[in-house]
């Protein structure tokens, strides 16, 4: 194996750079980078294949830092390997507009694969990356052409090991026998509260063995480079299960505070930094120093990665001549372009078509498009029959030896693991060859909120199929009936929340979700049947909001979503017959998409000079942006047949009409009456 003074110098350089960057920013976590520098050095130099000049090369090995507070370790490795991170960048760690934020963000920093930080998220992302590799290899590899065979390597710490999402994801990975996934557990016994014996005394190795992982232990992670190398090689040799290497390290190795919580979340004191540098052979008076020998050591391995990509490109060129269809498909996927004409498969409806639950409408879309969008990977958190996320001829993604699926399968059984499902989907999306869709009840998307938030932050094209969207699910009652959920997720930047009112709107939701390459989507879908609307089209709904029923003499606009739109249309008739009030109806399937339209368009939908009332069986929070008055549900629901529950809360033509009449009467004296859209626009500027 052969380790010498040059390896020691490289490892200590990693440690010292982490110290310097955290001291300069007066913020950060030097301890984990100092403790994990040896394993990072061995892994990146001896095992990982990548090309710093092309961070997006498909067959590169993926590295995920789930304990994202240790990000200076990853940033340092990227700098030393000459990714596009300069020494000046290193000096701006954790500063405004730096490409080195306080935790890894995929869209900020070259070489960062996934956005991590909240503990355990990266663990789930790594499982997703491994799933995507296994599937992509099964689809595109041919005899003599092993195009896709990369590994995913992931570091995680005690905090990740405590988080539930990591346990969920580890269980999934063990079941799926993901032999391409190698996790290294930083067993340093320290969390923010101090020694983990205060809260975390389980045997992590035994837990992972029970999950079905191959487990090893390297007892001296501070010095035993050969032991680390042997363990990683053995993990690579195990191809029928994921591997976890428990690596016992000393957090803050070399510091006066090594092995304590004092080096977990605080920069070293200057005197401590000075003695560490002196101990490691560096000048205590100098900062951000990298010996040329270290750059040269890593440049040699980087050159091997560049050569590997060059060989891969030659292989792909030959592959393209022998497997033209597959090569063209892979190129298209990597460019994030959808197949030409795919949208023609989207189902179109008219009022003559029967009333159908939007969860079934979603199933019809998947049935129609799965053949023409082969990168679509669907799944569900143990609710396949309720979410309707599986097309009839779907094959499960499973280890072939189980006899219940194939690696090339496109339906993923996530089990009752909503949170890890979302985190795994982020990893699948990040791989670059698949578009993941995953289902659960809308109420339980809240279980997955941490990962859903990172979908938005990291610009992943993932689709959350969220059924049983309201009190309309009925008898299961308030524990399952989402009230606040849409307000929460509508508040997320870069998140499209769709609540379609009929079949055309459901098709529009999928159209926009699939064509928006950097924005995730939540599709809130009904259990109960919905009629097909007279005024809906895919084109109109794709603008996020449109006029479903117009009346130039209307005194009020009813703005609604999902199952309440058809009730509003009934309310229009009731208003005219019983109160002599004419009304118009706006369907607003996605507020974020509507907000992106021009001011002129938005004012044509919700115009000046007319009162407006929003109607949705959810929290009214946020609806003041689109209506003068709001009719919603600012309390928990009730258990019972859904029509009776709607009646209890007066979400009926009569109940809506009563509130519409009061709204008209209250706002009739306001001259001129400004549209909420106009008001919101003025507040914005």
Q: By C-alpha distance, which of 575, 593, 595 is closest to 584?
A: 575
Yes or no: say if 84 and 93 are a contact pair by the CB < 8 Å rule. Answer: no
Q: Is 527 annotated as a binding residue?
A: yes
Q: Is 262 annotated as a binding residue?
A: no
Q: Does 322 qualify as catalytic in the annotation?
A: no
Per-residue pLDDT at 684: 42
User: According to the 3-state scheme, what is the secondary structure of 400-464?
Assistant: HHHCCCECCCCEEECCCCHHHHHHHHHHHHHHCCCEEEEEEEHHHHHHHHHHHHHHHHCCCCCEE
Per-residue pLDDT at 671: 84
- Residue numbers in the chain where pLDDT is lower than 70: 680-685
Phi, psi of 593 (to 5 degrees): -65, -40
What is d(CA 148, CA 293) in angstroms, rounded to the nearest whole number? 33
Per-residue pLDDT at 45: 98
What is d(CA 482, CA 58) in angstroms, rounded to the nearest whole number? 40
Per-residue pLDDT at 680: 58
Q: By C-alpha distance, which of 466, 465, 537, 463 is closest to 502?
A: 537
The DSSP symbol for 261 reads G
**Residue 306, SS3?**
helix
Yes or no: say if 634 and 685 are a contact pair by the CB < 8 Å rule. Answer: no
Q: Which of 168, 309, 418, 629 is catalytic?
A: 418
Q: Is the dihedral of CA 7, 13, 15, 18 positive or negative?
A: negative
Per-residue pLDDT at 445: 98
What is d(CA 475, CA 309) in angstroms, rounded to the nearest whole number? 57
Q: Is 636 annotated as a binding residue?
A: no
What is d(CA 370, CA 527) in angstroms, rounded to the nearest whole number? 23
Q: By C-alpha distance, which of 431, 384, 483, 542 is closest to 139?
A: 431
Distance of CA 121 to the CA centre of its chain: 9
Q: By C-alpha distance, which of 520, 528, 365 is closest to 445?
A: 520
Angle at 512 (CA atoms; ends 499, 351), nearest 5 degrees: 55
Per-residue pLDDT at 679: 75
What does the block give as tokens for 383? Answer: 């609710």
Q: Is 242 annotated as a binding residue?
A: no
What is d(CA 201, CA 357) in angstroms, rounded to the nearest whole number? 48
Yes or no: say if 245 and 218 are a contact pair by the CB < 8 Å rule. Answer: yes
For the chain, domains (ranges, CATH) are: 5-306 (3.40.50.970), 342-524 (3.40.50.970), 545-667 (3.40.50.920)
What does the block give as tokens for 31? Answer: 């301890």
Task: Please state, as a whole number, how many other Cβ atoms lie within 10 Å of the Cβ of residue 362.
Answer: 28
Yes or no: say if 212 and 174 are a contact pair by the CB < 8 Å rule. Answer: yes
Q: Is 476 annotated as a binding residue?
A: yes
What is d(CA 304, CA 346) in angstroms, rounded to the nearest whole number? 46
Q: Is 468 annotated as a binding residue?
A: yes
Q: Is 628 annotated as a binding residue?
A: no
Q: Which residues pair with 65 in a beta bridge?
A: 155
What does the block give as tokens for 148? Answer: 């896709």
Yes or no: say if 417 and 149 are a contact pair by the CB < 8 Å rule. Answer: no
């Amino acid at each position: 194996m052969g380790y010498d003074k040059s390896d020691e110098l490289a490892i200590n350089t990693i440690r010292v750079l982490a110290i310097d960057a955290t001291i300069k920013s007066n913020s950060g976590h030097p301890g984990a980078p100092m403790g994990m520098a040896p394993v990072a050095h061995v892994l990146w130099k001896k095992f990982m294949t990548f090309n710093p000049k092309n961070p997006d090369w498909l067959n590169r090995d993926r590295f995920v830092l789930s304990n994202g507070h240790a990000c200076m370790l990853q940033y340092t490795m990227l700098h030393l390997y000459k990714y596009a991170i300069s020494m000046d960048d290193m000096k701006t760690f954790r500063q405004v507009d730096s490409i080195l934020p306080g935790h890894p963000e995929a869209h900020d920093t070259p070489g960062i694969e996934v956005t991590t930080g909240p503990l355990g998220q990266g663990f789930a992302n790594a499982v997703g990356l491994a799933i995507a590799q296994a599937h992509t290899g099964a689809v595109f590899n041919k005899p003599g052409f092993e195009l896709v065979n990369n590994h995913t390597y992931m570091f995680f710490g005690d905090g990740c090991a405590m988080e539930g999402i990591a346990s969920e994801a580890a269980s999934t990975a063990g079941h799926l026998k993901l032999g391409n996934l190698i996790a290294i557990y930083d067993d340093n016994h320290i969390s923010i509260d101090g020694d983990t014996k205060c809260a975390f005394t389980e045997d992590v190795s035994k837990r992972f063995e029970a999950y079905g992982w191959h487990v090893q232990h390297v007892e001296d992670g501070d010095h035993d480079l050969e032991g680390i190398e042997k363990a990683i090689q053995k993990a690579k040799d195990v191809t029928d299960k994921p591997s976890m290497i428990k690596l016992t390290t000393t957090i803050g190795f070399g510091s006066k505070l090594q092995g304590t919580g004092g080096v977990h979340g605080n920069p070293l004191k200057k005197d401590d930094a000075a003695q560490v540098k002196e101990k490691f052979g560096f000048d205590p008076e100098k900062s951000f120093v990298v010996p040329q020998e270290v750059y040269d050591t890593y440049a040699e391995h980087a050159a091997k990665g560049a050569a590997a990509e060059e060989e891969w490109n030659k292989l792909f060129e030959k592959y393209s001549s022998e497997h033209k269809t597959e090569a063209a498909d892979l190129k298209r996927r990597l460019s994030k372009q959808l197949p030409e004409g795919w949208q023609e498969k989207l189902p179109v409806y008219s009022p003559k078509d029967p009333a159908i639950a939007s969860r079934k409408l979603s199933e019809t879309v998947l049935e129609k498009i799965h053949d023409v969008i082969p990168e679509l990977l669907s799944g569900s958190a143990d609710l396949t029959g309720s979410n309707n996320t599986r097309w009839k001829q779907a094959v499960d993604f499973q280890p072939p030896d189980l006899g219940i699926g194939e690696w090339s399968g496109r339906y993923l059984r996530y089990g009752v693991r909503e949170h890890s499902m979302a985190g795994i989907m982020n990893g699948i999306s990040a791989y670059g060859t698949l578009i993941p869709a995953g289902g659960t009840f809308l109420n339980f998307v809240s279980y997955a909120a941490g990962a859903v938030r990172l979908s938005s932050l990291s610009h992943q094209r993932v689709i959350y199929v969220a059924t049983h969207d309201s009190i309309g699910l009925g008898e299961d009652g308030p524990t399952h009936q989402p009230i606040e959920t849409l307000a929460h997720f509508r508040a997320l930047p870069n998140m499209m929340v769709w609540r379609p009112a009929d079949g055309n709107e459901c098709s529009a939701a999928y159209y926009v979700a699939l064509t928006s390459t950097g924005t995730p989507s939540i599709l809130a879908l009904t259990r109960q049947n919905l009629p097909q609307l007279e005024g809906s089209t895919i084109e109109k709904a794709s603008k996020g909001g449109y006029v479903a029923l117009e009346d130039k003499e209307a005194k009020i606009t009813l703005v609604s979503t999902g199952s309440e739109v058809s009730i509003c249309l009934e309310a229009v008739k009731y208003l005219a017959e019983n109160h002599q009030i004419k009304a118009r109806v706006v369907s607003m399937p996605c507020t974020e998409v509507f907000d992106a339209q021009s001011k002129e368009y938005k004012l044509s939908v919700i115009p000046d000079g007319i009162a407006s009332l929003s109607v949705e069986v959810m929290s009214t929070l946020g609806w003041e942006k689109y209506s003068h008055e709001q009719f919603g549900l600012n309390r928990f629901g009730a258990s019972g047949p859904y029509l009776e529950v709607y009646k209890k809360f007066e979400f009926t033509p009569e109940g809506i009409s009563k509130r519409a009449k009061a709204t008209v009467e209250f706002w009739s004296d306001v001259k001129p009456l400004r549209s909420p859209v106009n008001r919101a626009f003025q507040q914005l500027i």
